[in-house]
Structures are given as C-alpha cells and as structure tokens.
C-alpha cells in the first residue's frame, strides 16, 4: 500500500498579484481565510509566504508571519505550518532566518530550505553553501524541521552532503519542483531520477510549475507520493490559460484525482507523527532532542 497522500498547500507565493489574478490572497486576512477554506477541503500542511500589507510584495518579517500563523491556529491548531525562507529577494541571513525566531503558539513547524541557487524565468534565487548550511543549522538548533526544496537531482545530492555533515536528520521531507526553465523538466525521467536519489526515510511531494502542476500532481498521486498545490505555482485552472483558478478549485481537483487512485489523505496529525514533530495545539516544531550546539561546518565549494 502506498503512503497516505501528503497535500502541501501553497496559497500565494511571491509572484501572484491582484493584477495577475483577483483570487491571489495577499493580505493577512485573505491568506488566513484561504487556509481556513483549504482545511475544510482537506490539507496536510501549508507552505506560507507573507506579504507587506500595503505594497503586497513578499516580506521576511516575523511580525507579519506571526499574524498569519496566529490567525490559522485559532481554527487549525494542529495544522503543520511551514514558513518560506526564500532567497529570491532577500539574501542576508538575518532577514531569511527571521521567521524562524517566532516562538510559543506562533512557532513554525518547518522552514523551507532550497538546496542550491537557481534561475527562474526573470530572477535568480541565491542560496550559497554558507547560507544553506547556516539556515539548516538555525533550524536544527531551534527544533524546526526543514522542508527540503529540490529543483534538480544535484540538489538532492547536496542534501546527502548535509546529512553527512550532521545538519539534517531523518526523517526528511522533500518538495520536488519540476518544470522550471533552468532546472529538472516535468517528465517521468527527471522525476524518477530524483525519487531514486532520495535518502532513506524520506517523504516527498511533487510540484509542477505553471501548466505542469496538474500533470505532475497526477503522476505523484499515481506513484504514491504527495503533492504540492496552490496558486504559488500556477494561477490557471486549464492549460489553455482561459480560466483563472481559485485555491479551492485546485485542491478539490487533487482530491478528485486522489479518490480515483484510491489514495487517502494524510492528516496533519499523522504527518506530525511521521516527521517526529510536536503534537500541535500549543507545542510546535520538531520534538526536542538532547544535542549539543553544533558548530557551523566550513563552506562546501
């Protein structure tokens, strides 16, 4: 039997704006409400980006992340929450680590860790070896689990390197993102190689960028993996780009495909247990372990 289906919900990301689609949640109340509706449909976890309240551009500020997390946990205290630590705009460690400093009822369970630099269509995401290792160390010390983002097989190889350095520990959760122009393409060969190279004790979900979201979600469900789904990766419901999607549309379609494949959704509580996370409802992040402070390894060049 395949594992239960992990549904990783990505409501807004960095790119969607109201000009591109009126359905993009930008403000704190909009993001909270979209996650609330997603919980009613059924999700395992949420991958959050925060936006500045007026300009609508992405932000690293813990204060705004805290407002979103606090709003979500009023109605979903056990939902697994991951905060973005993206390097697409901000490249200072103090900025990128700021959401990890939230504590108590606002502490995130996970933080995204893109495993190398990469180019998008019009922008680079800079993730130097020093930065990746520093963020991994910060999460390890604060008992926050990394959400490992891999855009090609080389990034998975770098995860093996971090494991050898003691910066990552099992179990692992990977997002495999396919279809970006400068990375692994959205086809079975690229996906198969990436899944083959995952370390033991790995859970994984597949994202398709843009028009590839539906086929990659479908393949992942058929293969026994999880899915990453939401307006962050794709704002259209159809490949012809005639219908703008709502997050709820994309989630309901995933549930329909999962039902056709006999895949039951993994609940947040089941994912918490699988990933050795705290139980939620007041306790968040990874279960504490009796480890000493770990010095930062030398840069990997």
Question: What digits encode the pLDDT tens for the residues 265-294?
Answer: 999 999 999 999 999 999 999 998 734 444
DSSP string for 132-196: HHHHHHHHHHTT-EEEEEESSHHHHHHHHHHHHTTS--SSEEEEEEE--TTS--SSHHHHHHHHH
Q: How far apart are alpha carbons 48 and 35 in whole angstroms?
A: 10
Q: Which pLDDT score is estimated for 294?
A: 44
The 8-class DSSP code of residue 193 comes to H
Q: What percent of the chain has pLDDT over 90?
A: 88
β-strands 80-83, 110-114 pairing: parallel
Six-digit token string for 217: 């979600």
Sign of the CA dihedral 205, 185, 231, 285? Answer: positive
Kindly state the average pLDDT of the residues 198-203: 97
Residue 1 in this model has a pLDDT that exceeds 60: no
Six-digit token string for 209: 């960028």
Those residues with Cβ within 8 angstroms of residue 40's Cβ, 6 or more apart along the chain or in another chain: none
Residue 104 in this model has a pLDDT that exceeds 50: yes
Distances (CA, A) of 111 to 105, 156, 191, 231, 252: 16, 17, 23, 19, 26
Band the pLDDT of 2: cuts 50, 70, 90. Answer: low
Six-digit token string for 144: 């926050």
Answer whether 96's CB lies under 8 Å from 135's CB: yes
Q: How far apart are alpha carbons 209 and 142 in whole angstroms?
A: 31
Provide the whole-model pTM.
0.94
Residue 3 in this model has a pLDDT that exceeds 90: no
Q: Which pLDDT score is estimated for 50?
A: 96
Residue 56 in this model has a pLDDT that exceeds 90: no
What is the distance, to the nearest Å, from the Cα of residue 239 to the centroid of all Cα atoms in its chain? 23
Q: How far apart are alpha carbons 24 and 290 in whole angstroms?
A: 42
Q: How far apart are alpha carbons 45 and 267 in whole angstroms?
A: 9
Residue 55 in this model has a pLDDT that exceeds 70: no
Which tens digits make up the pLDDT trace of 27-42?
Answer: 999 999 999 999 999 9
Band the pLDDT of 53: cuts 50, 70, 90. Answer: confident
Q: Which pLDDT score is estimated for 290?
A: 36
Average pLDDT, the chain: 93
Which tens digits make up the pLDDT trace of 138-196?
Answer: 999 999 999 999 999 999 999 999 999 999 999 999 999 999 999 999 999 999 999 99
Distances (CA, A) of 182 to 209, 235, 301: 12, 20, 21
Q: What percent of the chain has pLDDT over 70?
A: 94
Q: Find the radius of gyration of the CA atoms of the chain.
A: 18
Cis check: omega of the bond before 13, within 30 degrees of 0: no
State the architecture of 7-274 in CATH terms.
Alpha-Beta Barrel (3.20)
Q: Which pLDDT score is estimated for 241?
A: 95
Answer whether 85's CB lies under 8 Å from 97's CB: yes
Distances (CA, A) of 146 to 83, 122, 159, 227: 10, 26, 11, 17
């Amino acid at each position: 039997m395949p594992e239960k289906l992990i549904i990783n919900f990505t409501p807004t990301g960095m790119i969607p704006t109201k000009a591109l689609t009126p359905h993009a949640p930008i403000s704190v109340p909009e993001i909270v409400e979209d996650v609330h509706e997603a919980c009613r449909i059924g999700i395992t976890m949420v991958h959050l980006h925060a936006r500045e309240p007026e300009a609508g551009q992405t932000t690293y500020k813990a204060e705004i992340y805290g407002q979103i997390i606090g709003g979500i946990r009023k109605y979903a205290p056990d939902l697994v929450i991951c905060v973005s630590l993206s390097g697409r705009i901000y490249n200072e460690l103090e900025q990128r680590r700021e959401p990890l400093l939230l504590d108590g009822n606002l502490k995130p369970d996970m933080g995204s860790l893109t495993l190398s630099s990469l180019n998008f269509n019009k922008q680079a995401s800079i993730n130097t070896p020093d930065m990746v290792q520093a963020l991994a160390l910060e999460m390890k010390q604060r008992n926050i689990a990394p959400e490992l983002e891999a855009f090609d097989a080389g990034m998975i190889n770098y995860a093996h390197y971090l494991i050898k350095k003691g910066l990552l520990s099992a179990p692992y959760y990977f997002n495999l993102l396919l279809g970006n122009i400068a990375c692994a393409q959205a086809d079975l060969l690229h996906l198969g190689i990436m899944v083959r190279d995952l370390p033991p004790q790995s859970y994984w979900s597949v994202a398709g960028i843009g028009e590839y979201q539906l086929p990659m979600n479908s393949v992942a469900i058929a293969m026994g993996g999880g899915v990453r789904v939401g307006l962050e990766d794709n704002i259209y419901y159809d490949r012809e780009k005639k219908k703008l999607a709502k997050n709820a549309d994309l989630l309901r379609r995933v549930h329909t495909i999962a039902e056709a494949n006999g895949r039951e959704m993994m609940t947040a509580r089941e994912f918490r247990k699988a990933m050795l996370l705290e139980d939620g409802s007041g306790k968040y992040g990874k279960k504490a372990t009796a480890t000493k402070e770990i010095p930062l390894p030398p840069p990997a060049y």
